[in-house]
Amino acid sequence: MRQTIKALGWAIRFLWIIVLLLPVSVAFSLWKLAEPGNIGIREPEVAFSGGAFSLSAPFYINNTGFYDLSDANLTISIGHENEVFKTFSSFVPHVPAGTTWNSSYQVSLALQEVASSMGLLTNDTDLVLGMSASFRVAYVIAFGVSTNFSQPWKAPFHNLTIPEVGYDSSTRKISMIASFENHANFPLEGEFLLEVYNNRSRRIGYFMHYINVASDAPYSGSYEFEVDEFQLTDNEVIRLSFDGVKIYETEWIPG
């Protein structure tokens, strides 16, 4: 009987040691997981096709802790400044201790969505990639982490400008030059539309053609087209569109 009580006492002490050490070891595992580079997103690849941008990149969890991770829910968000464009979610049932889980995401952004965010089509900037994860450690303790990454965005119509606009009243033709640099890592192919509107929002002239600009290449086009002189007003608006989406607008005062 005395031996049984003594063994029971040692078992209780052992259980208490486990109970006391478990939070410490779990905390250390989480600290290891939170080290730089253990949860991350690679730089996304950007492509353009069918009127939409596609962004894809691998992401990973490197479980350097002592315990398996289970029931992990990951959410990746893509945004600019305070605006979030898209989110991507993934469920990971099991990441054993000492292993790295790899996956990838792919999201599509319509040209209109990118155009609605100020400057993304015409200015290089940084996108904000947010990654949040909730999971269980040792199949028991729930925990969550989140982090942000900054990734460069290369504008397909960088520095789009119309430096000068002329009008010949004898031929009733307007002439202009439009220029930009394709900083994107893909060729820019599509319909380029130039339109002139008077101050009553009536279109009085336009010119459309197909452009194909290689990656990291400059573009400069000279245009001349007829406008309705009887619809000219004190000030006009010149609008540039690509594949049906407005990308640039400026005021023009006939001289």
Amino acid (1-letter code) at residue 192: F
pLDDT the model gives residue 50: 81
Residue 146: helix, strand or coil by DSSP?
Answer: strand
pLDDT the model gives residue 94: 84
pLDDT the model gives residue 28: 59
> Is the distance from CB of 146 to CB of 132 less than 8 angstroms?
yes
pLDDT the model gives residue 237: 94
User: Splitting the chain (255 residues) into consecutive groups of 10 residues, what average pLDDT does each group show?
Assistant: 46 43 57 70 82 86 81 86 84 85 86 82 89 78 78 92 89 92 92 93 93 95 91 92 91 83
Amino acid (1-letter code) at residue 146: S
What the chain holds in terms of domains, given with CATH numbers, is 2-153 (2.60.40.10), 158-252 (2.60.40.10)
pLDDT the model gives residue 6: 46
pLDDT the model gives residue 9: 45
Burial of 130 (0-12, 13-18, 19+ CB in 10 A): middle
